[in-house]
Amino acid sequence: MKTPAVNITNRLNDLASLLKEKMQNRKTFLLTDESVHLHCLGLLIESIGVDHGIEIIEVEDGENSKSIEIFHHICEHLAELEAGKDDLLICLGGGMVTDLGGFIGATYKRGIAYVHVPTSLLAMIDAANGGKNGLNLGPIKNAVGTIANPEAVFIYPPFLQTLPEIELRSGFAEVIKHGIISGGNFWKKITEIEELTPESLIPLIPDAYKVKETITSEDLFEKGPRKKLNLGHTIGHALESHYLTENDVITHGEAVALGIICETLISRKRETLSANDAITIIDIVQRWFDVESYFLPEYNHIRKFLYQDKKNINHELRLVLPFAIGSVEYNIQVEEETVRNCYEHFRNFERKENTSIAHYLVSTM
Ligand SMILES: NC(=O)c1ccc[n+]([C@@H]2O[C@H](COP(=O)([O-])OP(=O)(O)OC[C@H]3O[C@@H](n4cnc5c(N)ncnc54)[C@H](O)[C@@H]3O)[C@@H](O)[C@H]2O)c1
């Protein structure tokens, strides 16, 4: 499969030129959500120029738009507008829009041309890259989807200026995940971050992007090493699914952050991770995601979602675990009792004075 052209530019005019080139002689459709419409679309349309008629398709913000019903509705709309195979779909938004738009791009008329213009940190460094797209099946995350590359990914980091702080933090969870996978200098840069602002995070985008690009270029279809990118996601997706069922709100990154802590504890319990590295990882996650502020459901409430995980083999749990900072392993078969015990240990801890949460969690296992 062709790899997409990727451009990271801080100049809006460059972004507009790249898009105009793609739009030449093509009818253009642009998928976005309400908030991105409000904060980013006007800017983009203005710099592209009003003479390029673009048909805007807008969905509501949030995971509920990544559904079969919305997909159906948009495909019908595209058909009414006589969108053809040679036309262009621009997916402008966070990971929700790039997942939904990518699935439409890959399947409508068996595939039309599409490009991603990610606007959230999470989409810039993760969701818009690597070709995965998907829809949720009710609360089951990404149950339906394909792996298909867009023609191009155009990253304009200044879009982050309007991204709410909670969403910057959400994206930072995936940055931390990439740091645990890569280790080295990138991990060091992550540990040195003192505040989560567009200014502090924009310099991390090229490195964070590169970690994913290197892995997915070797294993696009996730036969092996790409699974490492699912660190934190077995528990994370199960939590996200549970919260979706309860109509409660947790960002994707918050769920992944909690998942990383829990999967770090599981690796420590199995003695495949040193206590030092476990404490370091949990400390960094805890610094930006205060675990005491989350109400975690009992294990039995997330269990059914763990068994929906796409990485499972023969209906048995297979986890992605950190073995060290800079070393992540996949397809690890873990006894359910270990998963349950570590999750419940994490869920039920009580802070002890004069001890960091990370130290306490690891030393009392
Ligand atoms: N395909 C993949 O490889 C992959 C990888 C990781 C995550 N994902 C998926 O990505 C989704 C999460 O993505 P997300 O965190 O970007 O969430 P999101 O797309 O729901 O965006 C979060 C919120 O931020 C708003 N927003 C986005 N950009 C903005 C901007 N520049 N200014 C103001 N508001 C802005 C959105 O409107 C939304 O309200 C999940 O569905 C997850 O499953 C996919």
For residue 65, name the pLDDT band (cuts at 50, 70, 90): very high
pLDDT, residue 353, reads: 77
- What pLDDT score does 230 carry? 97
> How confident is the model at residue 319, as a pLDDT?
98
pLDDT for 351 equals 74
162, 182, 197: which is the final residue of a domain? 162
Q: What's the average model confidence in pLDDT over 2-7?
A: 87
Residue 5 — very low, low, confident or very high, per pLDDT cuts 50/70/90? confident
User: pTM for this one?
Assistant: 0.96
Ligand 1 atom 16, closest CA: 94
20-34 tens-digit pLDDT:
999 999 999 999 999
pLDDT tens track for 155-169: 999 999 999 999 999
Instruction: Quote the ligand 1 centre to 250 CA distance (angstroms).
Output: 12
- The structural domain count of the chain equals 2
How close is the Cα of 362 to the center of ligand 1, in Å?
32
The residue from 120, 140, 162 where one domain ends is: 162
For residues 113 and 133, membership in a common domain is answered with yes
Does residue 97 register a pLDDT over 80? yes
Q: Is 340 exposed, middle or buried (0-12, 13-18, 19+ CB in 10 A)?
A: middle
Task: Determine whether the shortest distance from the Cβ of 40 to ligand 1 is under 6 A.
Answer: yes
Whether ligand 1 lies within 6 angstroms of the CB of 319 is answered as: no
> 132 pLDDT exceeds 90?
yes
Same domain, 22 and 139: yes
| pLDDT at 231 exceeding the cut of 90 | yes
Determine how many CB atoms are found less than 10 A away from the CB of residue 271: 8
Q: Closest ligand 1 atom to the C-alpha of 129?
A: 3
**Which of 128, 162, 196 is the last residue in one of the domains?**
162
Residue 354, pLDDT > 90, answer no
- Name the amino acid, one letter, at 236: G
Distance of alpha carbon 6 from alpha carbon 152, whole angstroms: 6
Task: Say if residue 51's pLDDT is above 70.
Answer: no
Residues 27 and 126 in one domain: yes
Establish whether residue 105 lines the binding site of ligand 1, counting it when its CB lies within 6 angstroms of any ligand atom: no
Position 248 pLDDT exceeds 80: no
136 C-beta closer than 6 A to ligand 1: no
Amino acid 34 reads E
Index of the ligand 1 atom closest to the CA of residue 237 = 43
Indicate if ligand 1 lies below 6 Å from the C-beta of 106: no
Q: Is 63 a pocket residue for ligand 1 (Cβ < 6 Å)?
A: yes
Kindly state if the Cβ of 94 falls inside 6 Å of ligand 1. yes
Overall average pLDDT of the 323-344 stretch? 97
Q: Is 204 close to ligand 1, i.e. is its CB under 6 Å away? A: no
Q: Tokens 């919305």 map to which residue?
A: 70
Query: Between the CA atoms of 172, 102, 8 and 37, what dihedral angle is there, to the nearest 10 degrees?
Result: -80
Question: How close is the Cα of 141 to the center of ligand 1, in Å?
Answer: 14
The dihedrals phi and psi of 353, each to the nearest 5 degrees, come to: -60, 150
- 246 pLDDT more than 90: no
Phi, psi of 207, deg, nearest 5: -65, -45
Q: Which of 44, 252, 256 is the pocket-test mutation for ligand 1 (most atoms within 8 Å of CB)? A: 252
252 lines ligand 1 (CB under 6 A): yes
Percent of the chain clearing pLDDT 70 (strictly above): 99
Burial of 60 (0-12, 13-18, 19+ CB in 10 A): exposed
Centroid of ligand 1 to alpha carbon of 171 (angstroms): 8
For residue 170 and ligand 1, the question of a CB distance below 6 A is answered with yes
Residues 173, 137, single domain; the answer is: no
Same domain? For 254 and 124 the reply is no
51 with 199, same domain: the answer is no
Q: Which CATH number covers residue 249? A: 1.20.1090.10
CATH number of the structural domain spanning residue 86: 3.40.50.1970
CA 240 to chain centre: 12
Judge whether residue 261 has pLDDT over 80.
yes
| Residue 254 beta carbon below 6 angstroms from any ligand 1 atom | no
Answer yes or no: is the C-beta of 159 below 6 A from any ligand 1 atom.
yes
Separation of CA 94 and ligand 1 centre (Å) = 3
Is the C-beta atom of 130 inside 6 A of ligand 1?
yes
Cβ-contact 156, 9 below 8 angstroms: yes
Query: What domain range is 64 assigned to?
Result: 5-162
